[in-house]
Amino acid sequence: MRILEPEDRSGLLVGAFEHLTGARPTVLAHAPGRVNLMGEHTDYNAGLVLPVALPHRTRVAVRAREDGRVTVQSLQRDGGFAGTLADCGPGGPDGWTGYAAGVLWALARAGVPVPGLDLVVDSTVPVGAGLSSSAALECAVGAAVLGLLDRPVRGTDADLLIEAAVAAEREVVGAPTGGMDQSVAVHASAGHALLIDFADDTHRRVPLHLQERGLTLLVTDTRVSHALVDGGYGERRRDCEEAARLLRVPALRGATRTAVDGLQEERLRRRARHVVTEIDRVRESVAALAADDRQALARANADSHASMRDDFEISCPELDAAVDAAVGAGALGARMTGGGLGGSSVAWVRTDRVAEVAQAVDRRFEREGFAAPQHLVATPYGGAGWVRLDG
């Protein structure tokens, strides 16, 4: 059984920055990965989502330069970027550096006086696990820039950071994401989930009381790589937009189940049915958490996974096995989480049975001939921030 523990590697990052750039960083910034408890593919349909931030985070060390140059390096990833701010936009960096450099470009476009800078990244958020390593990178970079300018990550600057991170992902990297990941990476609060309503871009904290209730959120990374730019995500989004057009609503949030059931094309009907029922499951989950109604929460998780597997078709054999094994070993409820087509599952587990459930999943994967998964505990954590190192 492999459980990935969160680490604060700030000291290592500072030392690496000094080694790579020859100077000490002036700001350390951070932003979390996330796991979504309910509401998959509902953000870009003007729906509801219920994510939590992970204790596993991406950290960025940064120092301003006087020559206007921009360098981006990582302790985990090969390659990097060196150029000017003008090189950071669409048609510029590709691969992982596009997420970082794109934020600099988007902030500058929004009027933020982004200086030249050296930037080094370190992360404990698993890449390709559907836990939003990309948004963690984007928001950590944005927070680092705000730190250089002595601007806190709150209020209008928090909103500006989110908008820049979403713009980087959509316009520079080319991933048609909906904004949930960036929002929770900035606005998350320890001990809480974040209920986000994309119809009016509002959010509120939802207390989970995990410790008092003796519950733990166990995430299983199936090690089946998940990527938002591989086509499957975009295809689902286009299906939803076409279904909304046929139903004559601005987004599927405005569709009724009766209207959805009347769609003639089966694929579009199933895609839309997932969205409208998933939005309802977010509401049901929030109510179940408030009442500590564990049976209702279990039903919502089971129905959500079935909907993503059958109607939205974004599960895979490994995800199905992880969910089935977790529930079979006594998890209260489990479902795949994130964009799908690989990635992770999340299970509500009694704290005294976490090891037992994780081992059951491992045994199932071994029996099925899958690569060994890794697990992490999703202790709900806070959002992005920064600290100065120069006093």
Residues 383 and 370: their CA atoms lie apart, in Å, by 34
**Would you call 181 a catalytic residue per the annotation?**
yes
Strand, coil or helix: 336: strand
Helical ranges in the chain per DSSP H:
10-21, 97-109, 133-148, 155-167, 180-187, 210-213, 232-247, 257-261, 266-291, 294-310, 317-328, 354-368
Which residue of the set 43, 118, 122, 181 is catalytic? 181
Tokens representing 146 are 């705000």
Tell me which residue of 219, 274, 297 sits closest to 3, measured CA to CA: 219
Residues 302 and 348: their CA atoms lie apart, in Å, by 12
Strand, coil or helix: 220: strand
> In this structure, what DSSP letter does residue 124 have?
-
Residues 351 and 121: their CA atoms lie apart, in Å, by 33
Catalytic positions, written as ranges: 181
